[in-house]
Amino acid sequence: MSKVLICDDEPDIVAAIRIYLESEGLEVITASNGKEALDIMKGEAGQDVSLLLLDIMMPIMDGITAMAAIRKISNVPIILLTAKSEDTDKIMGLNIGADDYVTKPFNPVELIARVKSMLRRYTQLGCMADVKEARDDSKIVIGGIELDNKAKEVLLDGDVVNLTPIEFEILKLLMQHPNEVLSPKKIYEVVWHDQAIGAESCVAVHIRHIREKIEYDSANPRFLKAVWGHGYKIEV
């Protein structure tokens, strides 16, 4: 059973999300501010957390600050819970390490879909990979980048590159289609298993993170190229 940590300072929201997630068979633990969430992730209870739902505006420690600290110790998927007026915070959150966001007031169906999609990505990158994923053990090598889908590992000129689950899946998708331009819409739908509505900025932020990790000069990339107005490709 996957464990989800909900961090929000509004008890009614936490209670509602708990009901939705537990109805899907997920285990839920909660925190009321960023410091509590960080303490949980540092402790024994945080070792088997599979996903974190994190509010941005909270007392004691806000979600952005907490996420920056959590990202130093964990690559667990993080979905931000944001208000419509927090567009700047959404982008900041994606820059720091969030994998996705859901805007409050949220649709329960959308929230559950995002959570289940993210958990699929996370478990496929861990020891609980399904049979289809386990069979796909081939290595993809393009230039100095080597992606091992069975070991879930990426090497750049022999050195390990630390990618989040979402970053790994985006890079794998692009490397499976060398020299082919994939639109942000296509990337989002394949990786997130969700309909891409206004997802371009989310994909763009993750692309920038990948580029910073696999390119020696991210401003003049060797591999991960943007094709203006069309999308992204891994160039051979």
Q: pLDDT (tens digit, 9 = 90+) per residue, 65-120?
A: 999 999 888 888 899 988 766 667 777 777 777 888 888 888 888 888 888 888 87
Single out the residue of 132, 192, 177, 123 nearest to residue 152, CA to CA. 123
Residue 132 forms part of a structural domain: no
pTM beyond 0.75: the answer is: no
Residue 109 forms part of a structural domain: yes
Same domain flag for 10 and 119: yes
Helices (H), the chain: 11-23, 34-42, 63-70, 87-96, 108-124, 131-135, 165-175, 184-192, 200-214
Same domain flag for 98 and 7: yes
Going by pLDDT thresholds of 50, 70 and 90, the confidence category of residue 124 is low
Q: Residue 193 — left, alpha, or beta (φ > 0 → left; ψ -120 to 50 → alpha)?
A: left
Pick the last residue of a domain from 124, 149, 164. Answer: 124
Peptide bond into 105 cis (omega under 30): yes
Structure-token match 């941005």, residue found: 56
Q: What is the CATH number of the domain that holds 191?
A: 1.10.10.10
Tell me the three state secondary structure of residue 233: strand
| Cα distance between residue 217 and residue 24, in whole Å | 44
The whole-number pLDDT of residue 165 equals: 82
Tell me the three state secondary structure of residue 189: helix
The chain-wide mean pLDDT, for the chain, equals 84
Q: What is the CATH number of the domain that holds 45?
A: 3.40.50.2300
The whole-number pLDDT of residue 93 equals: 76
Domain of residue 147, residue span: 137-234
Of residues 229 and 132, the one with the higher pLDDT is 229
Pick the last residue of a domain from 94, 124, 154. Answer: 124
Pick the last residue of a domain from 90, 124, 158. Answer: 124
The whole-number pLDDT of residue 116 equals: 86
Tally of CB atoms within 10 A around 51: 24
Same domain flag for 56 and 116: yes
- Provide the number of structural domains found in the chain: 2
Print burial letters for 201-210: b (CB count within 10 Å at least 16), e (below 16): ebbbbbbebb
Burial of 158 (0-12, 13-18, 19+ CB in 10 A): exposed
